[in-house]
Structure 1
Amino acid sequence: MAFHCYLWHGDTATAQGPKRDSLCGDLSLATPPVLTRDWLRKPQSMLQRKASTPEEAVNWLKENFDQHAPKMAHTQATSISPEDRFGSALADLHSGNDLSWGFPLLGSKYLALAVIAVH
């Protein structure tokens, strides 16, 4: 099993606004998809890393989460302990589950992180 790691950073209106389904449902656009598995069908430019282990994928998640955490509302970044957040992610990936996280950021921006298990 491999793990494809995706990141999108853009306007909140694209990720959560009224046009979300049309913008994100178009698989040719570099926007977060409506369905989690559709990350695999989005443009290859959105693929940030191919991890060979769940641990490597969680390290990627942690690096990107930590990089953007200062731009999150305080409770988004701190309401779940790092041990719980990344421990749960590791358990999910070990089980072959996909992950899709989304966080509104300051300044009407949005961060989407996803790890898709590829069997």
Structure 2
Amino acid sequence: MAFHCYLWHGDTATAQGPKRDTLCGDLSMATPPVLTRDWLRKPQSMLRRKASTPEEAVNWLGEVFDQHAEKMTHSQVTGIRRQDRFGSALTDLQAGNDLSWGFPLVGSKYLALAVIVVR
């Protein structure tokens, strides 16, 4: 198995607004997809890392989460204990399940992260 790590950072209106299905449903656009599996069909520029183990993918998630934590609300950062958040992610990836997270950020921005399991 391989673990493809994706990131999108943009306007909240794109990721959650009324035009989401149109903007995100177009697989040629560098926007988070409507369906999790469609990350694989989005532009390659959105692929940030190919991890060879679930642990490597979770380490990437932790790095990106930490880089953007100051732009998140306090409850987004602390509402789920870190060991629970990343422990659950590791368990899911070890089981072969895809992972998709989204976080509204200050300034009407949005962060979308995904790890897609490729067999």
How far residue 48 of structure 1 moved from its aligned partner, in angstroms, is 0.1
Alpha-carbon distance between aligned partners in 2 of 1:112 and 1:74, rounded to the nearest angstrom: 18
* Paired positions, count: 119
Deviations 1:1-45 (A, max 9, x none): 000000000000000000000000000000000000000000000
TM score, norm. by length of structure 1: 1.00
Deviations 1:95-118 (A, max 9, x none): 000000000000000000000000
Two-structure CA RMSD over aligned residues (Å): 0.3
Alpha-carbon distance between aligned partners in 1 of 2:13 and 2:93, rounded to the nearest angstrom: 29
Moved over 4 A (4+): none
Q: Which amino acid aligns with 1:6?
A: Y
Partner residue, 2:21:
21
Q: Percent identity?
A: 84
Alpha-carbon distance between aligned partners in 2 of 1:25 and 1:66, rounded to the nearest angstrom: 29
Aligned counterparts, 1:6-85, within 5 A: 6-85=6-85
Partner residue, 2:112:
112
Deviations 1:34-82 (A, max 9, x none): 0000000000000000000000000000000011011001101110011
Q: Which amino acid aligns with 2:107?
A: G
